[in-house]
Chains A and B, each alone.
Chain A
Amino acid sequence: MSINRFAPPAAIFRHVVLLTTGTLILIPFVWMVSLSVKPPGEIFREHFSLWPEHFYGIANYTKALTSSSLPHYMLNGVIVCTMILALQIAVCAPAAYALAKLNFPGRNLILGMVLIALILPREVLSLPLFILGYHLGILNTYAALIFPYVVSPFGIFLFRQFFKTIPDDVVHAARLDGLSELAIVWKIMVPMALPAIIAFAIFSVVGHWNSLFWPLIAVRDQNFMPPPLGIMAFKNEEAGNDYGPLMAASTIVVGPLIIAFLSAQRWFVDGLSGAAVK
């Protein structure tokens, strides 16, 4: 039976509308890539063409990669995102296990604190966190970019929801096999909750790869800038109106996530929309 399904002629209408909206959505991406392979003369020409008469991509991308510290920014992004994710899982998974499977006084209090922390917008906390970072003497280091995020209320909540669906018998059997509680977390719960871990990993990495607000506050030194901050520095200092290399740099920053997204679409949609919670 058809549910919200159109009659056949209307199916064409569906494709026409979705292709139109889809094209409009893609224009900024297409324009970015198009400018990134054009020579300056063609960029500043009055009429529009998608593909350049003279392919200038190699020159633009080479300039983006060599005249700025773009490869270094990308490396910073990888280091920071990896460290944040590793620490988040290390801190959140044991706590989530305790909240999901163990019975102890204070459990509901901790759970309530997790839910309150989930509401608090990080930007509101930036001033005290900046002061904390200053007193620890870690501003302008990788540690400054990482420390506010080592515990994720969303991570604890998501893992707890998932751990709760794992039968208690599995935990009992593991205890009978002589596993310590910590070993149960890492050898039983985390592997069984792999879908939740992957969804959270995507949520965390995408969020921190793209984040601009806190890095803008935490680091001024180009050596530690993650990609969004780096590309702003590139825009302000070197590229200016040199659109070709600037668009090449933007493409390089956005590229890895888009490739990952297209190859694991379902995971990304679940991870980023919080659908994994349900």
Chain B
Amino acid sequence: MGSVTSIVEKRNQASKTPKRNTGRVASSSERRRHRMLEIAASWLLAGPALVLLIVLFFLPVLGVFAIALTDWQFGASSLAFVGLSNFREVFADEGFRVSLANTILYVLIVVPGTIILGLVIALLIESGKSCRAFYRAVHFLPFMATLTAMAIAWEALLHPTIGLVNQTLAALGIPTANWLRDEATVLPVLAVIGIWQNLGYAMVLFLAGLKSIPRDLYDAADIDGADAWLDRLRTVTLPMLGPVTMFVFIVVALKAFETFDTVQVLTQGGPGHSSEMLLFTLYRESFEYLRTGYGASVAVVFLFIVVALTLIQACVMDKRVHYQ
């Protein structure tokens, strides 16, 4: 009913004058009714999404904080406010400190490794015309392949006796290792898998960044005598990739912090705690040991790290917009 009248009204408006003046022709009550209809339609269209955002995102976030600040256990009918004692327990726990340190070390290996390799591969692909799509596809493949399944392939690759890695090293006379069962090697090996998975993603972002560099800059560099490939790289390409690099830095860091699948499939945090990382700790404490308050506190710590990284990114991207 309502929409029919509004359409009739619009038809009338359109037949009289095509542009702005229509508002003045229609009476103010008609205009108000039209406006109310638009608002009602807007809320009907956005309403389901809004309700779901509140139920599935905002209430759960409040829930995590609430659980972290109380002594509530899963299944318990009563709870009491305990302040920050869950956090004190978490930070006093040797296991959590190791998990946090492992995660940071892992990120410190994965981020530079991914960025440098992704950048070099993107520069090489962009420096020639042939086989671009082929090289891009090959390097991007790990990013979309099911990591759980690929982790199982990596396990076979790293198998102490029948794995390709140790067979190759033995053939070359290099000492071998039981990569996933040795405290000294397990975290670097997981980091290598992390780099393997993410470098195609970094490469794609760098390729997009390279495409957006204006060609005149290279012409100008040519006139200034920067005609060697390395000169152009140093004077134009790398400086112009600055903002993209910052963006890649953050998104890869976020991906690295969120590493879970390889730990779950390959090591379960072992041997000892040597490959335990934040998300695995969160999962194990919350859903295997059912230490609800502890798990929620770990979730809050994790949330703070992720939000901090994202805010850094937002500030940097904001600056980039201002400069352009």
Could you list which residues of chain A lie within 8 angstroms of chain B, going by C-beta atoms? 1, 3-7, 10-11, 14-15, 17-18, 21-22, 25-29, 31-32, 35, 43-48, 91-92, 94-95, 97-99, 102-107, 110, 113-114, 116-117, 119-121, 123-132, 147-148, 150-151, 153, 156, 175-176, 178, 180-182, 185, 206, 209-210, 212-213, 216-217, 227-229, 231-232, 235, 243, 246-247, 249-251, 253-254, 257-258, 261-262, 265, 268-269, 272-273, 275, 278
Contacts and interface: CB of A to CB of B under 8 A. Distances in A.
B49 A121 contact: no
B148 A26 contact: no
- For the residues of A in contact with B, the DSSP-based class is helix
Interface residues of B, number: 103
A167 to B, nearest CB: 15
- For the residues of B in contact with A, the DSSP-based class is helix
A22 B132 CA distance: 12
Interface stretch (B150-158, B172-180, B181-189): B150-158
Given A181-B41, A213-B260, A269-B140, A4 B147 contact: no
B215 A3 contact: yes
A124 B64 contact: yes
B264 interface: yes
Contact of B49 (A91, A116, A257): A91
A123 B48 contact: no
A153 B53 contact: yes
B157 to A, nearest CB: 5
Contact of A48 (B43, B145, B164, B218): B164
Interface in B25-74: 38-39, 41-46, 48-50, 52-61, 63-64, 67, 74
Given A15-B131, A123-B260, A273-B205, A113 B144 contact: no
A110 B52 CA distance: 12
B141 A261 contact: yes
Interface stretch (B79-87, B88-96, B102-110, B292-300): B292-300
Nearest to B162: A44
Contacts of B14: 176
Contact of B64 (A5, A127, A265): A127
A92 B49 contact: yes
B316 interface: no
Given A103-B38, A273-B205, A147 B56 contact: yes
Interface string B125-144: 11110110101111111111
A47 B295 CA distance: 46
A212 B264 contact: yes
